[in-house]
Structure 1
Amino acid sequence: MEEHTTDPHASAQSLPSRQAAPEEPEKADEQEPVPQRDPSASPAPPAVTGGGPVRRLMSAWRRAVDRVDQRRRAERAWQLHYEESVGSRTGEAPGERAAGPAPSGAAHTADSPAPQAAAHSGLPPVIATRSTALASLPSWLVRGGLGAWLGLGIIIMIALVVYATSIIVPVFIGVFMALVFTSILQPLVSLFARVMPRYPATFLALLTTLAAIVGLMTYVVTSVTSQWASLTSQFSDGLDTIVDFVEHGPLPVHLTQQELAEQFQAWVRQGQDYLQSNAPTLATEVLSNASAVVDFFAVMALAIFSTIFFLASGGRMWRWFLDELPAHLRESVHRAAGAGWYTFAGYARGTVIVALADGVMAGIFLQLVGIPLAAPLAVLVFIGAFIPIIGAPAAMIIAMVVALASHGPLTMVVVGLGVAAIGQIEGHILQPLIMGRQVSLHPVVVIIGVAVGTYAAGLLGAIIAVPLIGVLWSVYSELHVKDAPVVGELPAYTARG
C-alpha cells in the first residue's frame, strides 16, 4: 500500500515558532496524540463490550494490537526524522539509510525519551503509515482466528492436566477421596463444632463414621455366618432345580446331568492347565497386587490426612489461596470455586443418601422374599449406587443369580422386578428430591460422560466422570453471561430453489 508521510522540512520550519511560545509544548504534552488510520485500510472490527471471559479477552487482545500499532508508527516516525537529519549533515539521501540498523541512540518504543524529544521539538509523535496486516483482514476472519487459538489453548491445557494426572494417579485418587469425605462429613463436623472447637469436632466426626462402618461390616459378617448351614443346603437344592430345568424344561436345548458334569469337569481341567502353564506370570501378578495393597493403604492415609485438615482449617487454607491471587481475580475465582464446591458436595452427599436408601429398601425387599444373604446383597446394592449407569444393574444381576440358585426361576424374576422398581424409585423420586438442581445434567450427557470416563480410566473414570462434568458445567454457568433465550417456536427450514 502507498505510504503517507509528512514533510520533515515543514516540521523543521515550525521549530522557531514553537520555541517562541514555550507554553505550547506543555499543552502538546498534556494532550495524548490520536493515531491516524489509513483511509484505504479495512475498518477495524467493532469493540466487544459486555460480560463474559471470552469477550473481555477479545477486547484486551484488540487493545494490545492497537498499542503495538501505535508504537510501530512512532518508531517509524522517529527513524524517518533521524535519517533526514543525518542525511542533511552528511549529504546522503533520506532513503539510503532505511535498510541499515537503527543507531544505538535511537529509541525503539513509544515510551522512550526519543519520541518524547521529538514531541518537544515540534515533530508529530505519530505519522500515518500503511495499515497493519491484522487491520486489513476482515473482522470475521480475525474473530475466527482468535477463537481457533483460544480453543487450541484450552485443548492443550486440558491435555496437560490429563497427562499430569495420569502420572500421579494415586495422589489424584487420594485428594479426590479427601474431597468426597470432606463434603460428606462437613455437616456433622459443623454440628459438633457448635459445642466444641473445630479440631475435636473433626476427630469426633471421623470416629463416629468409622464406628458406623465397622458396625455395618460386623452385621454383614454375622448374618453370613449364621445362615451358612441353611445357605449351603439351599444352594444345593437350587442347583438341582436349575439342572432339572435345563434337562426337562421348555428350552430348545436339553442337557442331561451327566453332560453338565462332564462340561464342568472340562472347565476344571482347563483351569488347572492354565494355572500350570502360567504359573510364573501369575506369581508376578500376585507380587504386583501385593504392591497395589500397599498403594491402597498409602492412598487411604493421604485421603484421611487431607480430610482432617480440610475439615478443621479449610476456610483458612482457602483464604490464604485467595490472598496469593491478584486482587482483580479474587472475586471471580471465589465465585467459580463456590459454585463448583456446591455442585460437588451436593452430588457426593446426595449419592450417599440415595445409595443408603437403595440399600435399605433392597435389604427389606430381599428379606421379605426370603432370599439368603439379604444383608450382603443390600450392601452390594449400596456400593453399586456410587457407580452411575452400570452399578445398579450389576447388583441386580447378582441378586437374581442368588435368587435363582436358592429358590428357582420364579423367585429370580420376582427379585429382578423388585430391584428394577427400586431403581425407578431412585431415579424418579429420590434423586430429584435429594439432589435437586445441584447436578442438573441431561441423561445423555451422563451416559456419554460415563462412557468416556470408562474408556479413558476404567472404573475410576466411570466414578469421577459425572461429578467432574457437573463441576465444570457449574463453574462455566457461574462465569458465563447468557444472552436472551429463544422464545416461541423455531421457524421451519425451507429449501431455497
Structure 2
Amino acid sequence: MTIDPNTRATSAVPKGVRDASEWALRLLIIGLGLYVAARAISAMSEIVVPVIVGILLCALLEPITRRLATRLPRGAAAAITVLGTLAIIGGLMTFIGSQFSAQLDDIVDQSLEGIDQIRAWIRDTFHITDSQFSEYIQKARDSLSGSGNLGETATKAGLTATHVLAGFFISMFALFFFLFEGKAIWAWLVRLFPRSARAKVASSGQIAWGQLQAFCRATILVAAADATGIGLGALILGVPFASGIALLVFLGAFVPVIGALLSGLIAVMLALVAKGPITALIMLGVVIGVQQIESHVLQPFLLGRAVRVHPLAVILSIAAGVILWGIVGALIAVPVAAVVNAVSNHLLADSTPAPDDADDLLTPAEEASVDRDVKAAEDQAAESS
C-alpha cells in the first residue's frame, strides 16, 4: 500500500491553538533576547550611559561643528565645540555658586523665619505644643539616623560621585570623536551588516539622527521657556536663589512632562520656607501656569511636531526609563521612543514584496548608492585626520 506524499495528516490540535503557540514561542524567544540584551547593557551601564549622553550632545552640537568645519579642520572644529561646551557649563556652575554664596546669609535668615511661621501655623492649627513638636522632630531624627549605617551610606555616595565624574569624562571623550569622525564611525557600523541590508540600515540611521536632532532643538526651546517663566516668577516674588531655580528648571525640562514640574516644586518649597504659605501658593500657581502653557502650547507646536510620539507613549516611556535606569532613563526615554517609532515606521513602510529568487538583494543603483556614501564618509575622515 502506497501513501500519497501530498496527503497531510490531520492534526488533533486546532489551527487557532497552533498559531497561538507559534506566536507565543516566538514572543518568548524575542523576550529572552531583549532580556539578555538589557542585562548586558545594565552590566555595562557605566559605559553605555555616558556614550548615550554623548550621542545626545552630539545631536545638539553637530550643527555648530559643521559650521566651524567650513573654516577650520574638522578636528579643530570638534575640539572647539567640546571646549566651548565645557566652558559654558563651568561658567554656569560658577555663576550659580557665586550667587548661592552671596545669598547664603539671606537664605538662612529667611529660612529660619519661615520655619518659625510654619511651626506656629502647625501649632495653632493642630493644637500641638512646643514640647510635642520637639519630640516629633527628635523621633524623626532618631529614625533617620537609625535607618542605616551612615558610614556605608557615605561610602556609596562617594562611589556614586566617582562614577558620575568618570561618566562625565567618558561622555566628553565620546562627544569629541562623534563630532570629529561621526560619519566614519557610522560607515563602519553600516559595513558590519550584510550588503543586502546596508541600504535600510543607512536610511534608518539618517531618520534616527534627524529625530534626535529635532528632539534636542525642541527640548532646548521648551526648557528655556520653562526656566524663564518659573525663574521670573521666583524673582518677582522675592524667592531666594532665583537664578539657581531657573537653571534647575532648565535642566529638569530635558525630561518631558514631569521634569520641569518636579524642579519647579523645589521653588515652591523654598518659597514656603523663606516667604511663608501665601507666597508658596502663588509660586505653585506660577509653576502650574507655566506647565499649562508648556503642555498646551509649546509641546504640541515644538516637541510634538518634532518627534510625533503620542502623549501616552511619552508617559509610559518615562515610567519605564525611571524603573530601568532612574534619572538617566527618564532623560533618554522619549528620544529612544521617538527613534524607535520613526525607524519602525520607515522599515514597515516598504511593503513591496520581493521576488522569491531575489530575497535580500539590492538593486544595482541601491548598492552603488550605499557604497558611495560609505566611501565618502571614509574619505572625509581620512582628510580630517
Smaller-chain TM-score bracket? 0.7 to 0.9
Runs of 4+ in 1 over 6 A off after TM superposition: 133-143
Shift of 1:400: 1.3
**Contact 2:245–2:264 under 8 Å retained in 1:** no
Asked whether 1:306 is paired with 2:174, we answer yes
Q: TM-score, normalised by structure 1?
A: 0.64
Shift of 1:317: 1.8
1:347 equivalent in structure 2: 215
**Contact 2:226–2:294 under 8 Å retained in 1:** yes
**What value does the CA root-mean-square deviation take over the aligned residues?**
2.9
Q: Which runs of 5+ in 1 are unaligned?
A: 5-128, 484-497
**Contact 1:134–1:142 under 8 Å retained in 2:** no
Separation of aligned partners in 2, 1:307 and 1:135? 59
Asked whether 1:3 is paired with 2:3, we answer yes
What does 1:52-451 align with in structure 2 at a 5 Å threshold? Answer: 129-131=5-7, 147-248=23-124, 251=125, 253-271=126-144, 274=146, 281-451=149-319
Q: Secondary structure at the residue paired with 1:195?
A: coil
Separation of aligned partners in 2, 1:369 and 1:481? 53
Separation of aligned partners in 1, 2:225 and 2:90? 19
Report the CA distance shift for 1:464/1:180 in structure 2 as closer, same or farther (over 3 A).
same
Separation of aligned partners in 2, 1:134 and 1:425? 64
Shift of 1:470: 1.8
One-letter code aligned to 1:156: L
Deviates more, 1:281-290 or 1:175-184: 281-290
1:75 equivalent in structure 2: none
1:476 equivalent in structure 2: 344
**Contact 2:123–2:129 under 8 Å retained in 1:** yes
Report the CA distance shift for 1:270/1:287 in structure 2 as closer, same or farther (over 3 A).
closer
Q: Secondary structure at the residue paired with 2:349?
A: coil
Separation of aligned partners in 2, 1:290 and 1:244? 38
Spell out, residue by residue over 1:169-202, the C-alpha distance to the aligned partner (whole angstroms, 9 max, x if none). Answer: 1111121111111111111111211211111111
Deviates more, 1:454-463 or 1:467-476: 454-463
Shift of 1:363: 1.5
One-letter code aligned to 1:221: G
Shift of 1:136: 12
Percent identity of paired positions between Structure 1 and Structure 2: 29
Q: Secondary structure at the residue paired with 1:437?
A: helix
Separation of aligned partners in 1, 2:221 and 2:166? 28
What does 1:484-495 align with in structure 2 at a 5 Å threshold? Answer: none
Shift of 1:318: 1.5
- By relative contact order (CA 8 Å, sep 6+), the higher-ranking structure is 2
Deviates more, 1:202-211 or 1:231-240: 231-240
One-letter code aligned to 1:289: A
Q: TM-score, normalised by structure 2?
A: 0.81
Spell out, residue by residue over 1:213-272, the C-alpha distance to the aligned partner (whole angstroms, 9 max, x if none). Answer: 122112211222222222222222222222222233xx4x22234432343344345555
**Contact 1:198–1:312 under 8 Å retained in 2:** yes
Report the CA distance shift for 1:316/1:135 in structure 2 as closer, same or farther (over 3 A).
farther
Deviates more, 1:412-421 or 1:205-214: 205-214
Q: Secondary structure at the residue paired with 1:205?
A: helix
Q: Which runs of 5+ in 2 are unaligned?
A: 352-385
Separation of aligned partners in 1, 2:302 and 2:256? 16
One-letter code aligned to 2:132: E
